[in-house]
Amino acid sequence: MNKFNLTAFSAALCLAMSASAFGANMSKEEYKAAKTELSAKYKSDKAACKSLSGNAADICVEEAKGHEKVAKAELEANYSPSEKHQYDVRMARADATYAVAKERCDDLAGNAKDVCREEAKSAFTTAKADAKVAEKTADANATAREKTTDARKDAATEKRDAEYAVAKEKCDTFAGDAKASCLKDAKARYAQP
């Protein structure tokens, strides 16, 4: 890996980590400033590619585009956290990796190039499938949590109603004011109307 790639990777990693530090508490102004910073970073990365020639320049440009795309998706996910934005981050990474891998294959010829492209396509398909699995799993977990919460609420209501029925039955052993007081206490204890 050449020095530029290491520098670009390090910068992208630092930017991603700094963006994740903002989290959901990021203000709109901070979000806009971070977007502007990402655009400036992309322009400088792309300008650095001009010193290269041939396919190396093409790879460099694809890397710059990929870093920007991933960083923007991560910024959006940090600014407005959601499973959709997490999916978008995964897909941005897959797209960027695929674009760079395809470009690297252009250095090869013949069957080696075909194999390289098929490997890149296979890795891309795997990354997309993994992103979909993660999204569906998160959706299923959210649905399961919601159903579990509803079931717990229903169970608590049923238990409370059953305990109230027992307390009400016990009040039948009393008469007059004692019975009325017992029923009033039971209604209050078991949140009955």
pLDDT (mean) for 172-193: 90
pLDDT number for residue 115: 93
Q: What is the DSSP letter of 80?
A: S
- Is 165 within the bounds of a domain? yes
Residue where a domain terminates, one of 51, 80, 109: 80
Would the pLDDT of 63 be above 70?
A: yes
Question: Between the CA of residue 159 and those of 148, 152, 155, what are the distances in Å?
Answer: 16, 10, 6
pLDDT (mean) for 6-19: 46
Domain count across the chain: 2
Would the pLDDT of 75 be above 60?
A: yes
Query: Are residues 67 and 92 in contact, defined by beta-carbon separation less than 8 angstroms?
Result: no
- Is 123 within the bounds of a domain? no
- Is 137 within the bounds of a domain? no
Give the whole-angstrom CA distance, residue 169 versus residue 115. Answer: 79
- Is 88 within the bounds of a domain? no
Report percent pLDDT > 70 for the chain: 88
Would the pLDDT of 70 be above 90?
A: yes
Angle between helices 83-105 and 110-171 (to 10 degrees): 170
For 15-28, the pLDDT digits (tens) are 444 444 444 578 88
Would the pLDDT of 135 be above 80?
A: yes
**CB burial of residue 66 (10 Å; 0-12, 13-18, 19+):** buried
Residue where a domain terminates, one of 80, 114, 132: 80
> Does pTM top 0.75 for this prediction?
no
> For residue 92, what is the enclosing H or E element?
helix 83-105
Would the pLDDT of 163 be above 60?
A: yes
Residues near 94 by beta carbon (within 8 Å), at least 6 away in sequence: 124, 127, 128, 131
- Is 36 within the bounds of a domain? yes
Q: What is the DSSP letter of 102?
A: H
Give the whole-angstrom CA distance, residue 83 versus residue 117. Answer: 30
- Is 139 within the bounds of a domain? no
Question: Between the CA of residue 108 and those of 103, 104, 122, what are the distances in Å?
Answer: 10, 8, 18
Query: Are residues 22 and 79 in contact, defined by beta-carbon separation less than 8 angstroms?
Result: yes
pLDDT number for residue 101: 94
- Is 168 within the bounds of a domain? yes
pLDDT band with cut points at 50, 70 and 90 for residue 138: confident
Give the whole-angstrom CA distance, residue 46 versus residue 34. Answer: 18
Q: Which domain holds residue 175?
A: 153-189
Q: Give the side-chain half-sphere CA count within 13 A for 46.
A: 11
- Is 50 within the bounds of a domain? yes
Give the whole-angstrom CA distance, residue 89 versus residue 73. Answer: 5
pLDDT number for residue 67: 94
Residue where a domain terminates, one of 80, 104, 124: 80
